[in-house]
């Protein structure tokens, strides 16, 4: 049910059908916002639609690849067609290839795997911002949130060199775009989650996740909702003075 006194947004969420993405989608729907949920997994997208908005009133799913500029053109058209003028982009899609559930040593990463991680984790957000910035500039409002990682802060333990490199690169992209976009009412920020009990963390053994607990002062893994709360803070219409920052959501395991 919508609260008419609140200003509603159209939120584009990539990687929406994954563990963290779903939590982010739920948080926008709970605020009465429209969501354009983007993912490459059609089956997971239709499950998302059935579970969260079966009548399709507020959630629009789009089967798109964030590495493809033509798909971003379709997403931009969907945003422009939306009734809301306040646009949010959450660049959340990401991949972290493993070998038998384990980190791949950097000197063994094949070039094609390096290239595909760069394409999804870094080129994807770049293309997304390029695609949606013109509309945000016209409306004089935008909130962009890029999903980095603790690995982008400290080099990472469970993800490979390619993963850490892209997540650090995303912080530079965030700051540089933040400077350029600030005069247009657009903020650009990043979130660096630590170990979250969802999505790609399920790709490693319970033992690895249990061992990781000792590094987290709060004493638990994070939940998708912990990340979604940080997204909501950075995507708030009222929050126009915080830009170029990285919000660490890690239970105290890294204090930058």
Ligand X SMILES: NC(=O)c1ccc[n+]([C@@H]2O[C@H](COP(=O)([O-])OP(=O)(O)OC[C@H]3O[C@@H](n4cnc5c(N)ncnc54)[C@H](O)[C@@H]3O)[C@@H](O)[C@H]2O)c1
- Name the residues annotated as catalytic: 163
Q: Please say which residue, 169 or 199, places its beta carbon nearer to ligand X.
A: 199
Q: Please say which residue, 63 or 175, places its beta carbon nearer to ligand X.
A: 63
Q: Please say which residue, 135 or 153, places its beta carbon nearer to ligand X.
A: 153
Chain residues binding ligand X by CB under 6 A are: 14-15, 17-21, 38-41, 44, 65-67, 92-96, 120, 147, 149, 193, 195-196, 198-201
Write down the least CB distance from residue 24 to ligand X, Å: 9
Write down the least CB distance from residue 65 to ligand X, Å: 4
Tokens at 29, concatenated: 């729907």
Write down the least CB distance from residue 109 to ligand X, Å: 16
Write down the least CB distance from residue 197 to ligand X, Å: 8
Q: Please say which residue, 75 or 141, places its beta carbon nearer to ligand X.
A: 75
Q: Please say which residue, 41 or 239, places its beta carbon nearer to ligand X.
A: 41
Q: Tell me the C-alpha to C-alpha distance, in Å, between residue 199 and each of 16, 21, 22, 60, 222.
A: 11, 9, 10, 21, 12
Q: Please say which residue, 51 or 240, places its beta carbon nearer to ligand X.
A: 51
Write down the least CB distance from residue 169 to ligand X, Å: 12
Write down the least CB distance from residue 200 to ligand X, Å: 4
Residue nearest to ligand X (CB): 18
Say if CB 152 and CB 164 are below 8 A apart. yes
- Nearest CA among 167, 173, 149, 166 for reference residue 253: 149
SS (H, E, C) the chain: CCCCCCCCEEEEEECCCCHHHHHHHHHHHHCCCEEEEEECCHHHHHHHHHHHCCCCCCEEEEECCCCCHHHHHHHHHHHHHCCCCEEEEEECCCCCCCECCECCCHHHCCHHHHHHHHHHHHHHHHHHHHHHHHHHHHHCCEEEEEECCCHHHHCCCCCCHHHHHHHHHHHHHHHHHHHHHHHHCEEEEEEEECCECCHHHHHCCHHHHHHHHCCCCCCCCECHHHHHHHHHHHHCCCCCCCCCCEEEECCCCCCC
């Amino acid at each position: 049910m919508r609260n008419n006194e609140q200003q509603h947004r159209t939120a584009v969420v990539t990687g929406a059908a994954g563990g963290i993405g779903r939590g982010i989608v739920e948080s926008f729907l709970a605020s009465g916002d429209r969501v354009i949920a983007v993912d490459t997994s059609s089956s997971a997208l239709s499950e998302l639609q059935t579970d969260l908005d079966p009548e399709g009133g507020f959630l629009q799913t789009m089967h798109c690849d964030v590495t493809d500029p033509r798909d971003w053109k379709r997403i931009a058209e969907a945003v422009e067609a939306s009734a809301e003028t306040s646009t949010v982009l959450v660049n959340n899609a990401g991949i972290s290839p493993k070998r038998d559930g384990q980190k791949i040593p950097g000197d063994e990463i094949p070039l094609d795997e390096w290239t595909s991680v760069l394409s999804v984790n870094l080129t994807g957000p770049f293309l997304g911002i390029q695609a949606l910035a013109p509309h945000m500039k016209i409306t004089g409002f935008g909130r962009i949130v890029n999903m980095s990682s603790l690995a982008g802060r400290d080099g990472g333990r469970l993800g490979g060199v390619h993963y850490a490199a892209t997540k650090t690169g995303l912080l530079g992209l965030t700051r540089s775009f933040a400077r350029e976009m600030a005069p247009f009412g657009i903020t650009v920020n990043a979130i660096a989650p630590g170990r979250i009990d969802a999505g790609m963390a399920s790709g490693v053994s319970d033992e690895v996740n249990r061992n990781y607990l000792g590094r987290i002062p709060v004493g638990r893994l994070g939940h998708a909702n912990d990340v979604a709360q940080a997204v909501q803070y950075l995507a708030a219409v009222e929050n126009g003075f915080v830009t170029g920052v990285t919000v660490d959501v890690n239970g105290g395991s890294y204090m930058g």
